[in-house]
């Protein structure tokens, strides 16, 4: 008894253990750094550094935190930059979060001998696409500025997000958490768009100007339909077409979950999801983005054709409402103006298409790279994802992208063919199947809108590219978790 008491007296107090001392020292150092930055730079800088360090710690513990952070930033503050420059350059919040999650995943893979890469049928196609992008970048180095090089690295980072999703989202809980983050991000972005739309113009400009500390513009904030005084919803995306595109790819995912039966909806609440979809649809309409409207319609039609037949009835009701309601006439009028090339925006697009085809004819195989055009007679710009890829990466890059998408759809839809074959039994969780088809419908929406807009392959919008490749990754993850194909046995 006496010996036990002597041992307890020799034991150091809890606060004196090495781990505790390191934690206390790190906390003091972090607090001191935050205090110095608060006094020397701005109050926001100190708090930003402290929050960033806490985020780093959270991601080191759980990569799911990093994925949710990427999605939140992409939808709420897509263009925000860090107030403290790193090496003379202010990173965007998106750059930092994407790089952090990628780095943590790679370090974990290197540190854990038992960890293994998750392979998918798309890996070789995505790697080929990345390789061709790097090749075209090197070929066009003479026209690349430092800024263009930084934006190109952002593009590569966004595409690599595909591999991060494939390897970090490994179970149903993580998959559903990512889907919830997407739905919540889209809902918050839509709510911000609606609030700013219905506020007075002066109040909206005042609020958005306050984001200048995060690198947001202070002039030309509000957007109108060209040649009119009709205001368009912008949210914190600034550009209404980008806001529409970001909402457009989430809406089909939400619709797929709402249309699922209660037994297949998993832990995702259908009523809240339906409310979120309604908010996003309303904001999407007010962006007056015709490409986003078309993309959302294509995504929902894809669901109706391959997954939820009842959606055809809802689409018919929606079409009748457009024909009968006064608000619908405005929507139809804008669509008609675009199809007949009567408005200025459509005429500008037509001119861009002609110039893009001329540039592609001059540099057909590997494009002009990601810098300036090699001649003053041509320029790199087109309101089309496919033309942008062809201009910058040539027909070889466009072929690699299209091959990637074809492989995605073949892999995701082949279960339908096997289910109809008597020699196969396809066991697939219905809840995961709804997520898979919803994510794939989001890809359909993006590919459709890509015919008329370029934000899913544009160096200036890495957040849109990150969300696109996120949906591609989620499609494969949901299929991997929920689909098991095996030969039928007697």
| Residue-wise pLDDT tens digits, 121-138 | 999 999 999 999 999 999
Distance CA 335, CA 417 (A): 36
Whole-number Å distance between alpha carbons of 340 and 97: 43
Instruction: Tell me how far apart the alpha carbons of residues 70 and 100 are, in angstroms, rounded to a whole number.
Output: 10
List residues bridging with 482 in a β-sheet: none
For 278, other C-beta atoms within 10 Å of its C-beta total 15
Q: How far apart are CA 64 and CA 411, in angstroms?
A: 26
Q: Please tell me the distance from the alpha carbon of residue 446 to that of residue 160, in angstroms, as a whole number.
A: 18
pLDDT of residue 53: 63
What's the half-sphere exposure (Cβ side, CA atoms, 13 Å) at 225?
19
CA geometry: angle at 471 spanning 467 and 475, to 5°?
A: 170
| pTM of the complete model | 0.85
CA distances in angstroms from 320 to 282, 297, 299, 310, 315, listed in the order given? 17, 14, 19, 16, 9
pLDDT digits (tens, 9 = 90+) for 161-182: 999 999 999 889 999 999 999 9
Res 56: pLDDT = 64
DSSP 309: T
Six-digit token string for 219: 């002039």
Q: Which residue carries 């990150």 as its tokens? A: 466
Q: What is the 3-class SS of 359-400, one letter each residue?
A: HHHHCCCCCCCCCCCCCCCCCCCCCCHHHHHHHHHHHHHHHH
| Chain segment 138-152, per-residue pLDDT in tens | 988 877 787 888 889
pLDDT digits (tens, 9 = 90+) for 281-333: 999 999 999 899 999 999 999 999 988 888 898 888 878 877 776 666 677 67
- The list of the chain residues with pLDDT below 50 reads 1-2, 4-16, 18-27, 29-30, 33-34, 36-42, 262-266, 419-427, 484-490
Cα distance between residue 136 and residue 148, in whole Å: 13
**Residue 89 phi/psi, 5° resolution?**
-120, 135
pLDDT, residue 471, reads: 97
């Amino acid at each position: 008894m006496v010996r036990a008491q002597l041992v307890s007296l020799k034991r150091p107090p809890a606060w004196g253990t090495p781990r505790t001392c390191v934690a206390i020292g790190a906390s003091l150092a972090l607090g001191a750094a935050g205090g110095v930055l608060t006094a020397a730079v701005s109050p926001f800088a100190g708090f930003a550094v402290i929050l960033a360090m806490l985020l780093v710690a959270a991601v080191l513990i759980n990569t799911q935190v990093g994925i949710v952070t990427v999605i939140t930033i992409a939808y709420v503050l897509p263009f925000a930059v860090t107030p403290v420059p790193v090496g003379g350059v202010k990173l965007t919040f998106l750059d930092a979060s994407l790089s952090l999650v990628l780095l943590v995943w790679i370090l974990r893979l290197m540190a854990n001998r038992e960890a293994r890469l998750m392979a998918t049928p798309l890996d070789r196609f995505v790697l080929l696409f990345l390789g061709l992008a790097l090749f075209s970048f090197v070929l066009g180095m003479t026209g690349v500025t430092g800024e263009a090089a930084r934006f190109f690295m952002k593009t590569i980072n966004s595409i690599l997000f595909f591999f991060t999703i494939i390897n970090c989202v490994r179970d149903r809980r993580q998959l559903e958490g990512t889907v919830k983050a997407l739905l919540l991000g889209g809902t918050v972005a839509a709510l911000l768009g609606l609030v700013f739309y219905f506020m007075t113009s002066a109040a909206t400009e005042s609020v958005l100007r306050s984001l200048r500390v995060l690198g947001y513009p202070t002039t030309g904030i509000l957007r109108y339909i060209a040649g009119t005084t009709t205001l368009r919803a912008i949210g914190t995306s600034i550009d209404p077409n980008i806001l529409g595109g970001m909402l457009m790819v989430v809406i089909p995912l939400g619709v797929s979950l709402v249309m699922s039966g209660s037994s297949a909806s998993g832990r995702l609440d259908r009523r809240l999801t339906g409310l979120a979809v309604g908010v996003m649809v309303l904001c999407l309409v007010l962006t007056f983005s015709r490409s986003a409207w078309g993309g959302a319609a294509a995504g929902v039609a894809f669901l109706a054709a391959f997954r939820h037949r009842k959606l055809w009835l809802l689409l018919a009701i929606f079409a009748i409402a457009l024909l009968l309601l006064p608000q619908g006439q405005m929507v139809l009028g804008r669509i008609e103006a675009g199809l007949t090339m009567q408005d200025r925006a459509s005429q500008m697009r037509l001119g861009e298409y002609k110039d893009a085809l001329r540039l592609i004819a001059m540099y057909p195989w590997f494009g002009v790279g990601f810098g300036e055009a090699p001649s003053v007679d041509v320029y790199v710009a087109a309101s089309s994802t496919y033309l942008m890829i062809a201009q910058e990466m040539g027909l070889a890059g466009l072929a690699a992208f299209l091959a990637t998408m074809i492989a995605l759809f073949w892999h995701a839809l082949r279960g339908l063919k096997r289910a109809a074959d008597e020699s196969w039994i396809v066991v697939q969780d219905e809840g995961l199947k709804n997520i898979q088809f919803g994510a794939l419908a989001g890809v359909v929406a993006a590919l459709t809108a890509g015919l008329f807009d370029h934000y899913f392959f544009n160096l200036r919008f890495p957040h849109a590219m990150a969300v696109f490749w996120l949906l591609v990754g989620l499609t494969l993850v949901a299929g991997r978790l929920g689909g098991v194909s095996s030969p039928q046995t007697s």
